[in-house]
Structures are given as C-alpha cells and as structure tokens.
Structure 1
Amino acid sequence: MTASTDTVAGLATDLRLPDGPGPFPAVVVRTPYDRRRHHAELRGWARRGFAAVAQDVRGRHASPGEWRPYENEAADGTATARWLRRQPWCDGRLVAVGASYAAHCALVLALDAPEDARPDAVIAAVPALGAADTAREPSGVERLAARAGWWAAHGDRRDSDDSALAKALAADPGLLTRLPVTALPERLGRALPSWPGLWRHRARGLLVERAEHARVPLLAVGGHHDHFTEDTVALWQRWGGPSARLLLGPWGHALTARPGPDARPEHRLDLGDLYTRWARRALAAELRPGRRGAVALGDSPLWTPAGTAGEPRAVTVRALHGTSFTADPEHPVSSEDLTVPQDTEPDRCLLVTPPLPRPLDLLGPAEVRLRATADTPSADWAARLVALSPAGAAERLATGVVRRAAPPGTRTEFTVGLGRLARRLPAGTRLRLEIAGHHFPAHARNPHTGEDPVTATRLLPSRRTVDPASVTLLLPALDSRPRPVDPAQEITR
C-alpha cells in the first residue's frame, strides 16, 4: 500500500493507493475536520481496491486560504476531481464521500461541478446540507447549542477544538443565556466574524431542490438521533439519479460510533464494508433503479424497507396541569433536563397517555395539533414527547418547535411537527407530551418582543393558554409487522 502527501489545487491532500499496478477507482473525502483523522478510513478503502484521497478544505488545518463555510467547495472540489482523473493510477471513476460538512462537499461536487468533474457516485452521511439547514429548524427556529458548539470548535480558525464550548460553559455556565446571541464570540474570548452572518441565512432546502437534477447514484446514511435526520431523508426522496439508497439506524451524529439508547446488537453494522460494497456496485451500474434502503426499528431487532410508514393514529392524551402557563425566557424550559418541576407555577402544559395495552411500533413522521393563545405578538411553541417506562424511567422520543406571529390573545390552531420516529414501545409505556414556550439551549429563546431572537437584548414573559380538548397527538403506528430486510443486502441491491 502506497501513502503520500501532496498539494492539489493548492490544498493539503493525503493519498493511499492499493497494492498492485492499477489503475483504480478513486474515493475522495474533502473535510474541514483534518484530513489526518481519515487515515484509517483511507487505508480501509485502499485495502478494498480504491485509490483513497482525503483533503483539508480551504483555510483549514494544512490548507492555505480563508475558511468560509459553504462557499468554496464546488470550485475546490472541481479542481481536485479533475486532478484525480488525470493521474495514471486512477481509472477515471470517482466516488465522493463525506459525513456532516464533508457530505456537503461531496454533494455540491455532484450537483454543481462541471460535467467532467462530477463524481460517478456519492455517499453522504449525516449531511450538513447548508448554513440555513444546519442553523434552523424547518419552522425557522434557531438551533442555538449545536451551532454555538460547532462555531466555537471550528469557526473562523484553522484548527479545531471540539471541546471549546464545553470548556467555556464550565468556566461560565450562563454563557448562552446572555444577550444578544450575536455577541457570543466576545463571551468566548475570540474572534468569530462569521457568527452573526450565519443567522442571515434563512432559506433551507436549496441543495435538496438541486438534488432533483442529480445524475449519479446516492447512498444517504443517517441516524434517528441526529439533528439532520429529516434532511437525510429529504435528500434521498428528492434525489434524481438512477438509484438512491437510504440507511437509517438508531444512532447519533457519529453513526455507529454513537448508538442511541434504543440500539440493539443487530444495529452494529460495518459501515466501511457496506460503503465499499455499495460503491463497487454503483460504479459497475449494478444497482437496481429507484429508491430503496433500510430503516432500523429502535428497541427491536427489526430492519424495515425504507419508505415503510405507519398510518397516522390519534393517541388519547389527558392534561395533568399547566393548561395555562407562563413562558418566561428568563427561566426557559430546559432542553437538557427531562425532569418536570413540581409545586411551582407551571412553565409548560403537561399531558400524558394511558399505559400502552400492547407493544406499539412507530415508523414515520409524528405531529401534535392544538389550539392555543399567547399574550405576546410572537410566540414559539415547543412540543416534546417523552416515553415513560413501566419502571418510571424517562426517555426523549421527539421534539418539534414552531414560531407563530398573531395579535396578542388570538386563539389559533396549528401543528407542531415532531420529526420521524422509528421505535418499538413496549406494553405499559406511557407517553408524556410537554407543550412549552422554549426549548433552551437547544433552541434560541423567543424574546416575545417581536425582535429577532439572535439580536434581541430584551426579554418578556408570555402568558399561554392551551385548549386541552384540542390537543391531538398523531403517531405513525404500524398495524402489522412490516417485511424485515437485511440492511446490507437492501443497500446493495
């Protein structure tokens, strides 16, 4: 196996070649997270017969230039792809691979590069599709903690410090509570000139729209516990290439390296082996046309065909307390703590279901419909669904947040999407539904003044009333056991 470091398109690039004369198909990973972290991955690709390349994107680690997230990747990827195809050890076939921001790099190469530079196949895992897609929920509400963590670790710097925000919070636990949100760099003690500009990006889904024009096979990989699950599924659904495959398991953003509490031994896949098997078949045009894939059912050994979904079923919920409550941004409902305060003025509406009489399989999107009022012109409504085991243990299932603008005191009817569920709930489980005005620090606090939450400097409490008779919890229930599939076989069909 041959290893080398080179400068390609002015950017630091590492190469691993298989043993033998070649030429070989090539794999390229363009990343802001340090190409050296991918050496084991490159060796794995090379052992399986691929020339493997990892490159630091512009302005990161050993690559010169200015680091501007989501700006230069199509142009720099184009130069790199053209260089790869000119090499004597490359047979002209190219697979673009990446996870998180690196998935964005792979996707824009497939969608935006000139024809001669486009890859022949794409693997996009937990894709961070664009600035707005990562910074905002589909409803537009700001994802504060995740973006603050990413920008503190990687923004406007050549290197990375993955623990930067954690260390800052240890020194100053109130760091994220101080206003305005745009002044966070000052509290971190270093320059982050791109931080305020991040929040000016509001148009989500731009890359997914372009995915309709794709011409190559796609493997989209995600986790049920990842921030970007909905984007992963949307990419797969809209992909216009000859074939698209989806793999979703009970994992977080680090995929199999970070399994969720509902992961089972059957969910421990060898992703490296699966990626290379898929890539070989994609390059040989041996994949069946259309959309296929496999989705794991958490707390169950079952893998189901991608696209399987339960029918929306209304589940009875009973209000416990807080049909009238105060959403105070000075004391917001915590996104990190599932404990419900007792013997205090309610800060959320709390509802529960009866215990499940039998196991329930949920697969697909869930939502909450309700009628409610706020005494402020702008109001966020956060809905959190929690599973309570027969032993009383609480586990987060889903969360959704929407922003509503209406004249104070106006009773409005609206829906809060809870995202996708893929879970088996055992008999005896109760579901707790919380309806609140904040979900902090995961999401920025609505100041209730009508100002932008990231530039606001003043906070007001908001009095809320929920009509309990109007609350409808719709869950994607499977009426019968779906057809089981082998995920490796389904992905490579």
Structure 2
Amino acid sequence: MTRTVRVTADGVPLATDVHLPPPGPAEGPYPAVVIRTPYGRRAHRGEARAWAARGFAAIVQDVRGRYGSGGRWRPYAHEAADGAATLRWIRERAWSDGRIVAAGSSYAAYCALVTVIGDPNTPGGAEAPPDAVVAAVPALGTAETARDPSGVERLLGRAGWWAAHGDRADSDPDALDRRLGHDPDLLRHLPVAELPVRLGRTLPSWPGIWGSARADLVVRRAPGARTPLLAIGGTHDPFAADTIALWRAWGGPARLVLGPWGHRLTRDPGPGARPEHRVDLGALTVAWARAVCAGRPPEGRTGAVAVAGTPYWYPATAVTDTPARRIPLTGGPLDGTLLYGADFRADPEHPVRSDDLRADPGRADRALFVTAPLTHDLHLLGNASAELRGTADTPAADWFVRIVAVDPSGRAEPVAVGSARTARPPGTRSTVTVPLGPLARVIPRGTRLRTEIAGHHFPAHARNPHTGQDPVTATRLLPSRRALRADGCALLLPVARPRPDGTRPDLSEEISA
C-alpha cells in the first residue's frame, strides 16, 4: 500500500511517498498525516507505516531540492508555498477524506507550521490550512536557529548543520567532524563567513543565515492560528524556549509535552530522566490526532512537563507561571561565595570553552561563584535568568552565564547556559539580564551550584571580537576587561514546591482530552 508519486509545486516535482492503511473493515477515504522533510523521506518509512496501521494515509515528501525532489534547495525559502500545494494535492485524492494533520520534527516542524500560518515573511495566513499540526523540537527559522534570543551567534550547531545539509541534494552527517579531525582549529579561523572555504565545500547559503537579526517571525504569527497544535520538546534541546514560546503564543487550542530530553526527544534522555519519562510519543500523537479529526479538538492551552530527577509530570502552565526567586550569588539562602574573577579578562584569542566544565582557580578568564552544599533538594520549574552588575572596557561585549551542578564526588553536570550582548560606552556600569531558558529538574541536596560568568562560550558560540564589528565578518580581536560587583549579581530561579500528593497524571488524558 506504498507508492512514490511526484507532486508538482510551481512546476517543480516533489518526490512523495504515499502510505495507505492496509485493507480491512475501513476502506477509506482516510484522514492524512503529511511530513515534509529535508532529511530523506525514506528515513520516515517506519513512522509512516505506523500512521497507516492506525488508519491514516501517511504522506512523506522530500522538500524542494533534497533527495528525490527537483528544484534548488534553499532552506526556509519555499516551504509555505510547497506545503500549500501538497495539501491541495492530498485533498484532491480519492483516498483522502479532506482532513489533514501536518507533522514534523526540527526543520520538518517548521514545514508543518508554515502550512498553517503561511510564509512568516509575507502578510496573510495560509489558504486552506491543515486541520491539526504537530511540531516537535521546532527549528523556527534561519535567524532563530542561528542565534540565541540575545542575538549571539550559535557557531558549532550551525556549522555542523550546514556542513551536513546545506546546499546539497543529500546529507553527510559526519562532514564537520571529519574536517575537525584534519583541522582541529577549523572553527577558530577568521572570518566566520569564510567557513565554507576551510570546509572545502561550496556553501552559497552560508552567509545568508547571518544576514538578519533574530525576529521570531513564526511565534509572532502564531496568535492568528486557529488550528489545534501539539508542541513536543525537551528541556535539554537547544530550541526548548522556542517550543514553549510557540505553545504559549498559539491562537488555537494548544497542548505541550516537555520532557527531560534532547533534540531527539525520548531517544536522547538527559540527566535525571526516569522510567516514568519513557513516553510513547507516537501513541500519544495518534490519540491526539484522532481526537482532532473526530471533531473533538482538545480545548484551551494545557499539557504536561516532566521534572528530571523525580518521577513526576506537572501541568505545563507551571513552566510559565512559577515566579522566579532572586538569589544573590554571594551570601543569600544558598550561602554563595565568589571564588575568583571579580575582575577578569575576556580574551577571544583564548576563549572560555563550551566543552570544558573544569574549574581552574588559576584562570583569569571568568568569574566563578560557588554555593555551599545544598541542605535540601532544590526543585526548579520554569524560566531562569541571571542578573549581572558590571562593566566592560570595550564598546561591545557578550556575557555568558553557565550554571554547573557539582555532586559530592566532584562530578560536574551542566544545568543551564545563557547569553546577553551589550553595546555601551566603555566603562559604563549597568545591569545585564542573561536569560537561561526553561528548567525542569531537581538539584539534590549535597550538591554545590557553580556559576561561571565569562565573555565567551566557544565553539558553541562565535567569539565576540569586542571591536564593535560583526562577529561573522571580523578578523581583528581585542581582549575585554570586565569588572563585576559581586553583591549586585544574582540568579533568578523558578523554585517550585514538590508535588504534595505524589500522583502522576495520565498523559493520554492530559493531551487528548
């Protein structure tokens, strides 16, 4: 019951696999689920067959310019129009009952979303949108994936993605790792804009990902949507904050499932994940889609979030409703101490590395605060941030805050990291707020919290040259001296109360009802 066809969008043939339910009592027509992907439609055959076995026609399509589809691959450029053409084609088939669920993960989630809201770069919504949309760990746009909310450039993740998938008809997932094996300093070379030269590949789209500031266009258009949404994310995923923002802004009924997972969700469990967090996301999604297609769309904005380190799931609204508690980095309820670095030197030639959690008192490249061992478990559920009071002697500066949990044996585990970018006259003392994203975990008693404040977080993020030049095109680097007022620095943590009753909600009921 599977065949490959060509769907034409603006004259371009798009390779499309159609998986129909096996013969049985229900002879059709069927509701359809459509997945548009740049990662190869054949990789989704197991998922498509699972949908078909549950009574859906499963449509999996290579996006324009990828694998079996014609045209030129330009990330994020054609997905709204090509998605709309695919929806029209589906509704014209004899096996379609007209009801369509658009689904996808990562880039494919963007494809699904813009079939609902239309092209975020142009006014107006989508024509005849799908009846429901599933967006898992959504990568919401070029600038949104390339930059933190602060505007700081995400270097390693974007270099890896573009080396693997950019400006080519297929994928080479290990491309960047192979090049780093030959040239370990690959990402240190300047300017960042010339990375394709060092990769030995033609990547004409590479400069364009840095050409505009983050605008969160999909989230801005979300309030106009009326289609039911199921948003699925992980608190260890780089796009966790985007997933929550999408769910929160969505104009129609919206459900959120947020677990202690990375970008591959349940296949990528993070620290503190428990057996109770091994959710069958496929069954959950099918139950939700059936409810929507049956004309019983779940109303309101609800869902569930797992708290790592516990077996519990909390109402999703706790992620946005838990107030942040201001905790000074020195003294305060956690008995914090500044170990060193009230004055430190942020030198882009010798940046603080994102892949090194060691704390070396001999370093002069960061400030380091540490708490006494926690006297009780610390439950964190919601959005965290840091508040810094200090100066930089350069007109441009990035500020990174990284929280690390150190257990009694000395093992270090990252808890949160965030960035802020400032452009102020040198020596201006000011307060800088650094978003740290959503947290949903328990820090066990006996743990020390170590907070690092630095000017770089490389290679995860590009180095700020401190000259005021664009970090993507800069070739000259300057050190930046920072001075912190320790008594003016604090963490704003969403400290939550433990569940008093020890009960766990039925996720199927939470999401589908």
TM-score if structure 1 supplies the norm length? Answer: 0.97
Amino acid at match of 2:22: D
Secondary structure of 1:210 counterpart = helix
Match of 2:251 among 240, 245, 250: 240
Q: Which residue does the alignment assign to 2:311?
A: 301
Question: Following TM superposition, by how much is the alpha carbon of 1:311 offset from its aligned partner in structure 2, in angstroms?
Answer: 2.9
Question: Following TM superposition, by how much is the alpha carbon of 1:285 offset from its aligned partner in structure 2, in angstroms?
Answer: 2.8
Instruction: Flag as ranges the 4+ runs of structure 1 deviating above 3 A.
Output: 113-117
Q: Tell me whether 400-409 or 306-315 shows the greater mean CA deviation.
A: 306-315
Q: Tell me whether 185-194 or 113-122 shows the greater mean CA deviation.
A: 113-122
Secondary structure of 2:352 counterpart = coil
Secondary structure of 2:394 counterpart = coil
Match of 2:300 among 277, 286, 290: 290
Q: Tell me whether 197-206 or 475-484 shows the greater mean CA deviation.
A: 475-484
Q: Which blocks of at least 5 consecutive residues in structure 2 are unaligned?
A: 120-124
Q: How does 1:92-171 map to 2 (within 5 A)?
A: 92-112=98-118, 117-171=128-182
Q: Which residue does the alignment assign to 2:511?
A: 491
Question: Following TM superposition, by how much is the alpha carbon of 1:168 offset from its aligned partner in structure 2, in angstroms?
Answer: 0.9
Alignment partner of 1:314 is 2:326: yes
Q: Which residue does the alignment assign to 2:2?
A: 3
Q: How does 1:206-225 map to 2 (within 5 A)?
A: 206-225=217-236
Question: Following TM superposition, by how much is the alpha carbon of 1:116 offset from its aligned partner in structure 2, in angstroms?
Answer: 5.1
Secondary structure of 2:145 counterpart = helix
Q: Which residue does the alignment assign to 1:335?
A: 354
Amino acid at match of 2:107: Y
Q: Which residue does the alignment assign to 2:20?
A: 17
Question: Following TM superposition, by how much is the alpha carbon of 1:289 offset from its aligned partner in structure 2, in angstroms?
Answer: 1.4
Kept in 2: contact 1:30–1:102 (CA 8 A): yes
Question: Following TM superposition, by how much is the alpha carbon of 1:19 offset from its aligned partner in structure 2, in angstroms?
Answer: 1.8
Q: How does 1:76-95 map to 2 (within 5 A)?
A: 76-95=82-101
Question: Following TM superposition, by how much is the alpha carbon of 1:115 offset from its aligned partner in structure 2, in angstroms?
Answer: 5.7
- Separation in structure 2 between the aligned mates of residue 428 and residue 487 of structure 1, nearest angstrom: 32
Q: Tell me whether 47-56 or 401-410 shows the greater mean CA deviation.
A: 401-410
Q: Which residue does the alignment assign to 2:400?
A: 382
Q: Which residue does the alignment assign to 2:365?
A: 347
Amino acid at match of 2:33: V
- Separation in structure 2 between the aligned mates of residue 327 and residue 203 of structure 1, nearest angstrom: 25
Secondary structure of 2:49 counterpart = helix
Question: Following TM superposition, by how much is the alpha carbon of 1:429 offset from its aligned partner in structure 2, in angstroms?
Answer: 1.2
Alignment partner of 1:273 is 2:283: yes
Write out per-residue CA displacement over residues 373-430 of structure 1, whole angstroms, 9 at most, x where no aligned residue: 1111101000001111122111001001011111111111121111111001111111
Secondary structure of 2:156 counterpart = helix
Question: For the structure 1 residues 480 and 267, does the alpha-carbon distance in structure 2 shift closer, same or farther, using more than 3 Å as the test?
Answer: closer
Q: How does 1:43-54 map to 2 (within 5 A)?
A: 43-54=49-60
- Separation in structure 2 between the aligned mates of residue 288 and residue 206 of structure 1, nearest angstrom: 26
Kept in 1: contact 2:374–2:448 (CA 8 A): yes
Q: Tell me whether 63-72 or 203-212 shows the greater mean CA deviation.
A: 203-212
Question: Following TM superposition, by how much is the alpha carbon of 1:360 offset from its aligned partner in structure 2, in angstroms?
Answer: 1.4
Kept in 2: contact 1:313–1:477 (CA 8 A): yes
Q: Which residue does the alignment assign to 2:342?
A: 323
Secondary structure of 1:12 counterpart = strand
Q: Which residue does the alignment assign to 1:189?
A: 200
Q: How does 1:344-423 map to 2 (within 5 A)?
A: 344=363, 346-423=364-441
Identity in percent? 60
Amino acid at match of 1:153: A
Q: Which blocks of at least 5 consecutive residues in structure 1 are unaligned?
A: none
- Separation in structure 1 between the aligned mates of residue 40 and residue 272 of structure 2, nearest angstrom: 31
Match of 2:209 among 198, 201, 205: 198
Question: For the structure 1 residues 300 and 480, does the alpha-carbon distance in structure 2 shift closer, same or farther, using more than 3 Å as the test?
Answer: closer
- Separation in structure 1 between the aligned mates of residue 144 and residue 260 of structure 2, nearest angstrom: 22
Amino acid at match of 2:414: R
- Separation in structure 2 between the aligned mates of residue 204 and residue 128 of structure 1, nearest angstrom: 13
Secondary structure of 1:409 counterpart = coil
- Separation in structure 2 between the aligned mates of residue 288 and residue 17 of structure 1, nearest angstrom: 26
Superposition RMSD on alpha carbons, in Å? 1.2
Question: Following TM superposition, by how much is the alpha carbon of 1:368 offset from its aligned partner in structure 2, in angstroms?
Answer: 1.0
Write out per-residue CA displacement over residues 420-464 of structure 1, whole angstroms, 9 at most, x where no aligned residue: 110011111110000000001111100011100000001111111
Secondary structure of 1:58 counterpart = coil
Secondary structure of 1:460 counterpart = coil
Question: For the structure 1 residues 115 and 149, does the alpha-carbon distance in structure 2 shift closer, same or farther, using more than 3 Å as the test?
Answer: closer
Secondary structure of 2:385 counterpart = strand
- Separation in structure 2 between the aligned mates of residue 229 and residue 287 of structure 1, nearest angstrom: 25
Secondary structure of 2:33 counterpart = strand
- Separation in structure 2 between the aligned mates of residue 129 and residue 401 of structure 1, nearest angstrom: 19
TM-score if structure 2 supplies the norm length? Answer: 0.94
Kept in 2: contact 1:310–1:479 (CA 8 A): no
Amino acid at match of 1:489: E
Amino acid at match of 1:196: P
Q: Tell me whether 115-124 or 17-26 shows the greater mean CA deviation.
A: 115-124
- Separation in structure 2 between the aligned mates of residue 490 and residue 107 of structure 1, nearest angstrom: 23
Kept in 2: contact 1:138–1:204 (CA 8 A): no
Amino acid at match of 1:329: P
Amino acid at match of 2:2: A
Question: Following TM superposition, by how much is the alpha carbon of 1:363 offset from its aligned partner in structure 2, in angstroms?
Answer: 0.2
Amino acid at match of 1:3: T
- Separation in structure 1 between the aligned mates of residue 145 and residue 33 of structure 2, nearest angstrom: 26
Amino acid at match of 1:14: D
- Separation in structure 2 between the aligned mates of residue 119 and residue 331 of structure 1, nearest angstrom: 50
Aligned length: 490
Secondary structure of 1:117 counterpart = coil
- Separation in structure 2 between the aligned mates of residue 341 and residue 192 of structure 1, nearest angstrom: 39
- Separation in structure 2 between the aligned mates of residue 277 and residue 324 of structure 1, nearest angstrom: 56
Q: How does 1:438-457 map to 2 (within 5 A)?
A: 438-457=456-475
